[in-house]
Structure formats: structure tokens, C-alpha cells
Chains A and B, each alone.
Chain A
């Protein structure tokens, strides 16, 4: 059997890893975007009490490597009695970490949004949450689509770190196949291909969002 035939025979292992990576990625992407939006909303308004602690949280995340956060949740927290599976610790770390980055991306665009649009919404009787959800957030997403897309790709790549805390994702699949059959080259070429495919699909999605944005005159992405 050639090396490629060995890989084909164990395609189940790849599919499982691919499925796990996609699942972890999708859940974390959705939750971290929601968290980022929520963080931004909590920092809105005239005198938000939460502004300073949230600012510290966001800056801390931006100065830490993702893996050390995953280490903290998986290896560190059990010593204060909080136990999570590798999967739970990994997803929680991804959501908190990238939620902070999403909040920062949105905030960067938020401060350049004209206050007139907000005034128009207030004059029309919008409540703060409705205004944020319907007037502000959609515009921020359209404006920051490029940076958001990059952040999603970074999130995808960060899922590979989870192999180190023993999550059975795509890179773990390649690693285990390569050590079982000693065919590292082929195994890793296949998974890198998988990652590339997901990234290209994400970029395509962003380009689609770009067309929606352009129609509305949002060219500054």
C-alpha cells in the first residue's frame, strides 16, 4: 500500500477531526461574536459602570497568547476546584479570547460612526438595545467585514492549539496518523489542505458580505 492509500483507508480519522474542528470553530465563532457585541454594548452609554473592568479584560486578552488561556482553564483551574473537559476548556478559552478581539474591532469602528445617525434613532424613539441591534451593529459588521474575516481565520487557526490540551481535532488527527503509520508528510499535507479550504470559504463569505456592503456605499473595509 502506498502512503496515500493508507491515508485513504483511514479517512474516517480525518473526517472526525475535520468535523470536530468545524464544530468547535462554528460554536466559538458565533459565541465570540455575540460576546464581542455584548461587551461593546455594555461599554456604551454615558457612564457605564462596566467600562473600566471590561477595558482591562479586553486589553489583557490582547496581550496574552491564546494557548496560555487554554492552559489556565484546562490545567490551572482544577486546582481551585473548577474542572472542565479539554473540549469545554478549549471552547470557553476561544470564546473569551476572540470575544475580546471582536469587541475591540467593533469598538474601533464604533467611535468613527457619526453621532447624527444615533440622534436620528433617538429622535424616532428607538430604545438603546433596539438602536444598537438594528442601527449600529449591522453597520459596524459591514464596515469591519475585512478585519472580522481575518479574525475568524485567526480563530480557526487557534483551534489547532487545542491539540496541545488533548482535544481530538484536525491537527490531532494528522498527528496520530503520522505517528501510527509514520507518514507525517502526507498526513499533514491533507490537513493543511483542509484548513486552506475553510479559510478560502471564509474569504469567499467575506467577499459576499463585501458586495452587500458596496451596494450600500460601505467601501472602507
Chain B
């Protein structure tokens, strides 16, 4: 029996105001795999990621996390209740482009908040776990600081710790370095690289070509809502099948 994929996406379609953003997207991500999603802006790559944890509701298609359906009831095809949805979502950690830390809580409490009020951990256990993950991303000594006092790179590392602390099966990254000053990109990418070598399953929407080349197991190229290339990085970056990807890569080199 073949290994069950951690994430499986089938026939996913989504349109906004009559404009099709995703069309019949299929994707499988195995456990421990790192998948980078590339594409020019407006290609639908962020929408794809946001559909995976149902922040956007797709029009058609199905998404399964470890075989478990997200968004719709498997039997009835009716929308899940908020409670059921929240439960499936705990398997998915999400890191946003704009960090989305909660400014009224300090770094530690940004991480512990969901541990205590969603997972129901005791406060001492939550703090212990939070500190472990803050340590992992190198932000332990900033535990008492407030988000407003942090740099963008530091904020993003806290956001990663916040997502990791929920101990999800899959980590979703939505352009995690796009809002950062160039000199702060490295610290975030290095944390992500560590996670990949620890065997985390990761789906990453990114513009960082080098990172995609060096870290991913699979590179997906999206154009106008359609996957037009899906291959290992060696093939993708050296001998892509499609003309469009070739042009995309050349453009990147020029810049």
C-alpha cells in the first residue's frame, strides 16, 4: 500500500468575482516533504495556500490532511461547523507575510495564548513549551518584549514559533520574507532551513529562488491559477519542461 500523503489537493478551483484564480489544481505532499510554490504575483499561489487551511473557501475540489477532509463533511458535503474546522486546522500551522502578531501580548504570550485557550494546556506547561520553541527560533531572550519593539525578522521568527508550538503536522508559509528588509531575510530563511532538516512537512509560497532550489523536494509553478510545472528542484531549475518557467527563471537572473 502506498504511503498516504500528508496533504492531498484534488481538482481545487476558486474564483473571486467571476475571475478564476485557481483551476483544477492537484497536489500531493508527502510527510517530511518541503514544497515550494513559485509564480508571478497574481498567479494564485497565496490563494492556494490559504485554501489549504480554509481561510479561503474553494468553489470546488477537496483537500485532505492525513486523509481527513477539511472544510466540508466527507459524507454530506455540507460545510463543517466552526468547531470542527478549528479542530482540523490545529494540524496546520500558518505563517503570514505580515507576521500578524497580536500587539497587546508580549512575545511569550503570543505563543502561549492558543496553547492555553485553544489546546487547553496548563499555563506552566504552555510556558515551558513556548519557551522551547522560542529557543528554537532564537527568540527566547525576547520573551518579555512586545511585538512593536521587534524588527521584522524577529517578528517573523516569533510568528514561526507561535505556529510550531501548536505542534502541527504541516507548516504553511505565505511569502514569509516578502515584507522584510533584505538584510533581515537571512535569519528567517535559516530558521526555515533548520525546520526542513528536522523533517517538518512544509508548503512555502516564496520568491526566494535560492531557497527554493536548496531546500525543497518539490517545486510547483503556478500561472493564472494552473499548475504548469511540478518537479524536483534539479529539474525545475536546470531543465524545466515549460517555456514559461524558462522565461520566469531568466527574468529572475537578470534582476
Q: Is there a direct interface between A and B, measured as CB atoms under 8 Å apart in the complex?
A: yes
Binding site for B on A (CB under 8 A): 114, 116-117, 119-128, 130, 134-135, 138-139, 142, 215-218
**A47 to B192 CA separation, bound complex (whole angstroms):** 39
Contact of B117 (CB < 8 Å), options: A117, A130, A142 = A130
The answer to whether A218 and B104 touch across the interface, beta carbons within 8 angstroms, is yes
Say yes or no for B55: interface residue by CB 8 A criterion: yes
Contact of A126 (CB < 8 Å), options: B100, B103, B114, B162 = B114
**A216 to B162 CA separation, bound complex (whole angstroms):** 18
* A121, A125, A127, A138: most-surrounded residue (chain B CB, <10 A): A125
Q: Given A122-B55, A127-B82, verify A117-B146 contact (CB < 8 Å).
A: no
The answer to whether A217 and B55 touch across the interface, beta carbons within 8 angstroms, is no
B98 neighbours in A (Cβ, 8 Å)? 114, 116
The answer to whether A124 and B118 touch across the interface, beta carbons within 8 angstroms, is yes
Residue in chain B with minimal CB distance to A140: B104
The interface stretch among B86-94, B135-143, B227-235, B238-246 is B86-94
B149 neighbours in A (Cβ, 8 Å)? 217
Binding site for A on B (CB under 8 A): 53, 55, 82-83, 86-87, 89-90, 92-94, 96, 98-104, 113-114, 117-119, 146-149, 159, 162-163, 166
The answer to whether A125 and B166 touch across the interface, beta carbons within 8 angstroms, is yes
Interface of A: prevailing SS: helix
A123 neighbours in B (Cβ, 8 Å)? 53, 55, 89, 92-94, 163
**A126 to B86 CA separation, bound complex (whole angstroms):** 7
A114 neighbours in B (Cβ, 8 Å)? 98, 100
A117 neighbours in B (Cβ, 8 Å)? 100-102
Q: Given A120-B102, A216-B103, A216-B146, verify A134-B117 contact (CB < 8 Å).
A: yes
B159 neighbours in A (Cβ, 8 Å)? 120
Residue in chain A with minimal CB distance to B172: A123
Query: 9 nearest interchain CB pairs?
Result: A217-B148, A120-B100, A116-B100, A124-B114, A123-B94, A125-B86, A125-B118, A216-B146, A125-B90
Q: Given A119-B55, A215-B146, A217-B147, verify A124-B104 contact (CB < 8 Å).
A: no
**A134 to B89 CA separation, bound complex (whole angstroms):** 19
**A120 to B159 CA separation, bound complex (whole angstroms):** 9
Contact of A120 (CB < 8 Å), options: B87, B94, B148 = B94
**A76 to B90 CA separation, bound complex (whole angstroms):** 54
The answer to whether B102 and A139 touch across the interface, beta carbons within 8 angstroms, is yes
**A65 to B130 CA separation, bound complex (whole angstroms):** 51
**A113 to B184 CA separation, bound complex (whole angstroms):** 26
Residue in chain A with minimal CB distance to B117: A130
Q: Report B240 CB to chain A, min CB distance, Å.
A: 32
Q: Report B54 CB to chain A, min CB distance, Å.
A: 9
**A124 to B53 CA separation, bound complex (whole angstroms):** 10
Contact of A125 (CB < 8 Å), options: B89, B102, B103 = B89
B114 neighbours in A (Cβ, 8 Å)? 121, 124-126
A139 neighbours in B (Cβ, 8 Å)? 102-104
Residue in chain B with minimal CB distance to A116: B100
Q: Report B8 CB to chain A, min CB distance, Å.
A: 20
Q: Report A143 CB to chain B, min CB distance, Å.
A: 9
Given pairs A124-B114, A130-B117, 9 additional interface contacts (CB within 8 A): A119-B96, A120-B94, A121-B114, A123-B93, A124-B162, A124-B163, A139-B103, A217-B103, A217-B149
Q: Report A29 CB to chain B, min CB distance, Å.
A: 22
The answer to whether A127 and B103 touch across the interface, beta carbons within 8 angstroms, is no
The answer to whether B147 and A119 touch across the interface, beta carbons within 8 angstroms, is no
Contact of B148 (CB < 8 Å), options: A134, A138, A216 = A216
Q: Report B27 CB to chain A, min CB distance, Å.
A: 19
**A175 to B190 CA separation, bound complex (whole angstroms):** 73
**A138 to B104 CA separation, bound complex (whole angstroms):** 7
**A125 to B159 CA separation, bound complex (whole angstroms):** 15
Q: Given A120-B96, A122-B89, A216-B146, verify A127-B102 contact (CB < 8 Å).
A: no
* B55, B83, B100: most-surrounded residue (chain A CB, <10 A): B100
